[in-house]
Chain A
Amino acid sequence: MRYGRGPDVLSDISLSLPRGSFHFITGPSGAGKSSLLKLIYLAARPSAGTVRLFGEDVAGMTARDLPRARRRIGVVFQDLLLLDHLSAFDNAALPLRIAGHKPSEYRGDVAELLTWVGLGGRMHARPPTLAGGEKQRLAIARAVVNRPEILLADEPTGNVDHEMALRIYRLFVELNRLGTTVIIATHDQDLVARSARPVLHLDKGRLKPLPPQGPTT
């Protein structure tokens, strides 16, 4: 994969992630972690090769298929991509609104989730008034609010303290236990070491699988 006419940012990648699996993606900055996630959450297309998602070749998906597939994926973006003019509650409820659910169906769930991530008292607040960690937790709440089949997180614990990082990790584990496929790109070696999850290690755009590095939390 490459951007425009630039050099390959990913090459010789061949992997298959089973439904319900839990993987970490690690690697130095610029190794291609975010690009690999972009391929999976359908924000980019491979310049060569094939990406299959939910058993379907992405290249064969129509303009109607793509939004439907994206609704089955929750993403914690590296730069969060929160909407500054909306409240934390509106931001968290966004995927459910887009999917066409009625507010009465999800009001309670969104409030509960925001409380769980520690934003119970900040539901009205707009992202510019939130601290870095609060923004990150809000982005995580938005990614998981519709119980996606695949959860992708790009440095989800970068701006939170260790205790909150573990809480978030436990949320991901719980979602995984309920059937969600979880893929986390992270620099947090401690988090990776605490889990017994498979690690996909990227270096200069190439994949190097590493064994699990520590006990399960």
Chain B
Amino acid sequence: MSESFDPARWRPAAFLPEQDARDPALIFAIAVLCFLACLTALGVIAGDRAAHGWAGQLTGEATVIVRARGGETPDAAAARAAETLAGVKGVSEARALEKEKAYDLIRPWLGDVSDLEDLPVPRLVAVSLDRKQPATAAGLRQALKAQGLDAVVDDHQIWIKDIRQAAGVVRWTGAALFLLIALAAAAVVAFATRAGLAARRDVVEVLHLTGAEDGQIANLFELRFARIAAISGAFGATAAALAGGLLRLVGGGQGITPALPIAWLDLLAVLPCPLLAAIVAAVAARLTARRLIQDL
């Protein structure tokens, strides 16, 4: 009613209409992209943790293969090697494995041979290294050589290198995926901005002819799409956090698989999603709007 309008209480309305029929579709598309981006981030974090765990376990251990020399029995050589290694600085424990374990290791290649005792099967010594100042493979070799033992030290470097390489591949693949999804979100926003400008050409034209600067008009679209992207980002991040939480619940402490152990704290990684989505959308909308306004 006209009587209810009080100029003293008037507040300027938004230059652009508050709602647009295309908003729900846009929110859904950006939310899906944000969901995928968050899942990628969670996957990278979990994969990185798994790789670190494996590398850490391998770094803390070494295996020594001992071959008996002269008249010494394999068991005696292994026991002497374990005793020698236990005295090396940086070794927390050295333990000769029972001969059955050595037999178990070679049985897959030799089959069920009954008289393995007749074969010169080498013995294994499992060495646990000090986590803070681990002994080097060279140091272990030197100590064994000094005792006249014929032994091969395997400090698992070849595996550690492979695991680190695999972790690097996971990280970079995740980063590339994340970038691709961000670019896809930017493209969606640019397209929506273009459509929004076309649909609101009347508003843009009036503002333009009434003296609005290009930046002022671009700001309207920038804020509008940043707000939409932030809302979408919140939806996508929430869905990804729920999915991550579900994986954590289903798989327990190991996650759904030991290869991807998800921790509860990892779910916090989705928090910046709405802000990042808003920034990507704002930049895409601003660049698109400015270019289109200049062509008016």
Contacts and interface: CB of A to CB of B under 8 A. Distances in A.
Interface of A: 41-43, 63-64, 67-68, 70-71, 75, 77, 81-87, 89-90, 93-95, 97-99, 103, 107-108, 110-111, 120-125, 142
A89 B211 contact: no
A71 B211 CA distance: 5
B211 A68 contact: yes
B147 interface: no
Can you list the 3 inter-chain pairs with the closest CB atoms, starting with the nearest? Answer: A71-B211, A111-B7, A124-B5
Contacts of A95: 210-211
Given A89-B5, A89-B10, A83 B211 contact: no
Contacts of A41: 209
B contact residues, range: 20 to 34
A201 to B, nearest CB: 26
Interface in B33-90: none
22 contacts: A42-B209, A63-B214, A63-B294, A67-B211, A68-B211, A70-B209, A70-B211, A71-B211, A82-B206, A83-B15, A85-B13, A86-B15, A89-B5, A90-B13, A93-B12, A98-B216, A103-B12, A107-B10, A122-B2, A123-B7, A124-B2, A125-B2
A124 B17 CA distance: 16
Given A108-B7, A124-B5, A81 B12 contact: no
B213 interface: yes
B212 interface: yes
Interface string B6-19: 01101111010100
Centre residue among A82, A123, A142 by max chain B CB count within 10 A? A123
Nearest to B3: A121
Nearest to B7: A111
Contact of B202 (A81, A107, A125): A81
B11 A87 contact: no
Contacts of A68: 211
Contacts of A98: 207, 210-212, 216
Nearest to B293: A63
A63 B296 CA distance: 12
Nearest to B9: A107
A82 B206 CA distance: 8
Contacts of A103: 10-12
Nearest to B8: A107
B5 to A, nearest CB: 4
A81 B1 CA distance: 24
Nearest to A104: B8
